[in-house]
Structure 1
Amino acid sequence: MTLGEAYNSARQRIDRLDARLLLEYASGCTHTDLLARPEMPLIAPAAAQFAEWVERRAAGEPLAYLVGEAEFRGRVFQVSPEVLIPRPETEVLIELALERMRGLAAPSVVDLGTGSGIVAISLALECSSAVTAAVDVSKGAISVARNNAGRLGALVDFREGSWFDPLAGQRFDLIVSNPPYVAAGDPHLALNGLPFEPQMALTDGADGLDCIRAIVAGAPAHLNPGGWLLFEHGYDQGEASRNLLRAAGFKGAFTQTDLAGIDRVSGGHL
């Protein structure tokens, strides 16, 4: 089988871009090879790997899980079914956090529910003076995040546990989080490869606000005076998030939209 034959066969079952990327990962070929030398032979092990990936992709498994990595803010992060696949919308949370870290000599920040570590690692790398910690209840997620930090050269103190449990007695200038916020039974959970992602990182099994309530309620005891809390949430949770922040004593409660104009991150300060 040649590169061209493998690619054309896969295109009958999956998106052309997915077919090209999977073929490149399986064979080590480049896009140029595929265009200029489609007659190049595909060795048997690569052909077998490619065929398996095409089968799994056709069944809906996300491409990032097949190849084991995804890009976020120009960096390649390792991912596995233990963690959510990075999404560009989370960059809103990063940008808002960086704005509030500017001007602080050594801002202390903690990322709750870190998953693959994209938020904590991005903040640690883009604000080198920051003292950064990250928490996740999943041992598998912590392992993935630690590997990513090591590969990318980020100094992050990872803690295993639920929300604030591993942070007794500690206070921070900034708390950030991308918690589970999809309501149980939401039809979106059955779409776009979400059934393959860790459900405990997607939904709280209730109304989608349980984890946000826990974070907002616990944050004041772990923030320095004037400290900020910022968290990502669902498209229809902006108002509820601001109400929770105000009820917990936060000032300046606000909601920031993403590039699509959808409510994405809310926050406030003490």
Structure 2
Amino acid sequence: MNKEQFDLVKNGKGFIAALDQSGGSTPKALKLYGISEDAYSNEEEMYDLIHEMRTRVMTAPAFNSDSILGAILFEQTMDREVEGKYTPDYLWEEKGVVPFLKVDKGLADEKDGVQLMKPIPNLDELLTRANERNVFGTKMRSVIKEPNAEGIRRVVVQQFEVAKQIIAAGLVPIIEPEVDIHSAEKEKIEALLKEEILNHLAGLSEDQPVMLKLTIPTVDNFYKELIEHPRVVRVVALSGGYTRQEANEKLAANNGLIASFSRGLSEGVSADQSDDEFNKAIADSIQTIYEASIT
């Protein structure tokens, strides 16, 4: 583990950019960017286009360590290059931004009000490659839709099991049990989730640091104990389908919680903008998310 990167993620001022749209969410991300599905005829062309978009974001002048602590990458992005360097090396060496990798393989079907992660069959192999590519940490996502105590317990058990495998490989895991913002009982889910996470954090040793990526809570500062927990490096928030303005307003009301937005980051940028227009739009986006993150 890189100590300089660890200190930056733990104590730095800023947020984490999520650039990890995968197979299922890439067409949507491209569409928001102004590239329709008839612009590519296969998956390879689609991934080329999304890498061009991500490259444009990462090479924008405002995309740097003044506001951004880390960036979460899709597996393919880790193996591709930006300006002649592998993406993780480009981020760290040129921008001072800490690279993370999305490692989950998507969501299983809903059961007991939750969607667990699908099995990750080649995780050890992927973690070896992540280390070779100088990645610092990982991210994996589950989703909770109902206040079903057994379902929520299974989500957290699975997340922490995978997290321990990631820690053993020398990386820092971001545990992401997303709560659906449209759930009628979101607050109740968050109470059950916090209790379950605290139980599992109590079982970690000093050399098992984790990060948490959570939906912005209904009750302001509800995750204070998690943010202050000695085993937690940082708690970051997902935008979860809120507009950037909504997400920023909710985030700003939670002290110590920082953003890790995907859709919120790229809102307002499009393929047909000139570089000046694009760079200005990204700079505005980064500035507002940064300001909401440092409260």
TM class, shorter-length: 0.3 to 0.5
TM-score (norm 1): 0.34
Name which structure has the greater RCO, CA cutoff 8 Å, separation 6+.
2
TM-score (norm 2): 0.32
